[in-house]
């Protein structure tokens, strides 16, 4: 697939998800979408709660739904808001599943005119000196490779015989 077409699809998914934001407290709708290594797109919106601290950002909703489908490698992330800037917590969560090539599209969408301003950058640039699962020694390999290794181990293991 044409890469610019993929980016348009990613942005469209985030714009569409923004419409589902549940944000009656902040009235600040955010949409996000991620493109995974396998070429799939997962979207999310912010979900708030009367107990404010339980609210979840759009980026984490999108990333966690990819993880829930075992899609651990992010090729690109897109965030759409009036002024799209991922919070610090989301930058750290993005970093966990990104490589130095993971692109980040920040789309400022004017809610009145619907005009879009797109900025392209990289996840790793948004969080210098991140707490890194690899250099901290907490993980021996990128999460995506760990999952691959684990599933090949379980594929090789002979099935337990039924008693
Ligand atoms: N929000 C996001 O969804 N993503 C961000 O990166 C920044 C903030 C949400 C959280 C809350 O629902 C609303 O925007 C206002 O902070």
Domain extent at residue 141: 132-163
Task: Give me 24's structure tokens.
Answer: 């009656």
What tens digit of pLDDT does each residue of 111-125 get?
999 999 999 999 999
More confident residue, 2 or 49: 49
Instruction: Say whether both 113 and 156 belong to one domain.
Output: no
C-alpha 135 to ligand 1 mean position (Å): 29
Q: Give whole-number Cα distances, 131 to 15, 74, 113, 141, in Å.
A: 30, 18, 39, 15
Q: Is 90 in the pocket of ligand 1 (CB under 6 A)?
A: yes
For residue 22, the cross-strand partners are: 47
Three-state secondary structure call for residue 136: coil
Q: Is 59 a catalytic residue?
A: yes
Of 81, 83, 93, 9, nearest to 45 by C-alpha is 81
* CATH code for the domain of 58: 3.40.140.10
Instruction: Say whether both 150 and 107 belong to one domain.
Output: no
User: How many domains does one find in the chain?
Assistant: 2
What tens digit of pLDDT does each residue of 64-74 get?
999 999 999 99
Q: Is 45 in the pocket of ligand 1 (CB under 6 A)?
A: no
Mean pLDDT of 16-22: 98
C-alpha 145 to ligand 1 mean position (Å): 30
- Give the single-character DSSP code of 160: P
Instruction: Say whether both 86 and 144 belong to one domain.
Output: no
Task: Give me 58's structure tokens.
Answer: 């759009």
Q: Is 92 in the pocket of ligand 1 (CB under 6 A)?
A: no
Instruction: Say whether both 48 and 123 belong to one domain.
Output: yes
């Amino acid at each position: 697939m044409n890469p610019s077409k993929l980016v348009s699809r990613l942005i469209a998914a985030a714009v569409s998800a923004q419409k589902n934001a549940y944000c009656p407290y902040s009235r600040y709708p955010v949409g996000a979408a991620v493109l995974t290594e396998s070429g799939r797109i997962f979207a999310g919106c912010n979900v708030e709660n009367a107990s404010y601290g339980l609210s979840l950002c759009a980026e984490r909703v999108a990333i966690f739904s990819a993880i829930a489908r075992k899609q651990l490698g992010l090729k690109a992330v897109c965030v759409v808001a009036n002024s799209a800037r991922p919070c610090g917590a989301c930058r750290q969560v993005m970093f966990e599943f990104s490589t130095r090539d993971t692109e980040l599209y920040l789309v400022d969408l004017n809610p009145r005119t619907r005009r879009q301003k797109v900025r392209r950058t990289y996840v790793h640039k948004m969080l210098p000196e991140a707490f890194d699962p690899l250099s901290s020694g907490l993980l021996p390999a990128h999460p995506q490779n760990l999952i691959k290794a684990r599933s090949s181990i379980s594929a090789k293991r002979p099935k337990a015989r039924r008693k």
